[in-house]
Amino acid sequence: MDDQFEKLRELLKEQNYPSVYFYKFIIQNDEEKMVEVKKCFSETAEFSSRSSKNGKYLSISIKEMMLSTEDIIDRYKAVGQIKGVITL
């Protein structure tokens, strides 16, 4: 998984900070999972969600002002600790 973060670091090395970063995750449509994901972000982060066609899954989009590449990666690592979350 660190290799994935190295690729992300490479992609973001030219980014100017602070900058708004867009995250996207898929979870089972479970309120507890949504709360867990929200806890990984600041109170100023903007959340939107959309249910899948059959309502079993929830797509979560998050926009947050980030100060560095490492802050972005820290968010991915925190959400990655939640069982059943798919990172896009």
Q: pLDDT (tens digit, 0 to 9) for every residue of the chain, 88 residues total? A: 457 799 999 999 889 999 999 999 999 999 999 999 999 999 999 999 999 999 999 999 999 999 999 999 999 999 999 999 999 8
Which phi and psi (to 5°) does residue 34 adopt? -60, -45
Q: Which domains does the chain have, with CATH numbers?
A: 2-87 (3.30.70.260)
Which conformational region is residue 51 in: left (phi greater than 0), alpha (psi within -120 to 50 degrees), or beta? Answer: beta
Beta-strand runs (E) in the chain? 19-28, 46-51, 57-66, 86-87
56 close to 29: Cβ distance less than 8 angstroms: yes
Q: What is the pLDDT of residues 49-66, one digit of tens each?
A: 999 999 999 999 999 999
Task: Name the strands in the sheet holding 86-87, side by side, starting at the edge strand that comes first in the sequence.
Answer: 46-51, 57-66, 19-28, 86-87
